[in-house]
Amino acid sequence: MVKTTYHSPCGNIYLGAVAEGLCFAKWSPLDFGEEGFNEVLAKAVCELDEYFAGRRREFDVTLCYVRGTDFQKRVWDLLKTIKYGKTISYMEEARKYGNVKAVRAVANANRCNPLSIFIPCHRVIGSDGSLTGYAGGIEKKRFLLNMESNII
């Protein structure tokens, strides 16, 4: 795996990729892989530039899950269906998953999301509209949601 650091307007995003796709987009440094660049990282960086410039609402870079349970992967795939500028609650997400009793498990799967922004877990909020839980921190979540709402 090769990795690089993307300097976003709300903080560094640490990207990791293999030839098959982007594996990681995290808010904390990756402690594995070699510094470098490949076609996947080049595409991811270009798409992030477009996203932060307000010119991209959906990502096309191929994603590659190298970790995660089948349950987590299903939840992450569900997160990709949340449209740019929209939010849903954790309860709505569990309902879309097909089991409202799994709300805590769904929230935990969101917490384990290895591809922040590309899999938009920042678009999931509390049932009362509050900004809760985000690996990058609430300020980054607020920044991303405001940006997507064109409120910056």
**Which residues on neighbouring strands pair with residue 144, listed in sequence order?**
none
Instruction: Tell me if residue 63 falls in helix, strand or coil.
Output: strand
Q: Cα–Cα distances in Å, from 125 out to 18, 92, 93, 133, 146?
A: 31, 10, 10, 8, 13
Instruction: Tell me if residue 12 falls in helix, strand or coil.
Output: strand
Q: Strands, DSSP E only, in the chain?
A: 2-8, 11-18, 21-26, 34-35, 88-89, 124-125
Contact (CB, 8 A) for 116 and 122: yes
Catalytic site includes residue 112? no
Contact (CB, 8 A) for 35 and 3: yes
Contact (CB, 8 A) for 137 and 27: yes
Annotated catalytic residue, options 10, 23, 64, 121 = 121
Tokens of 133: 């839980």
The residues assigned a catalytic role are: 121
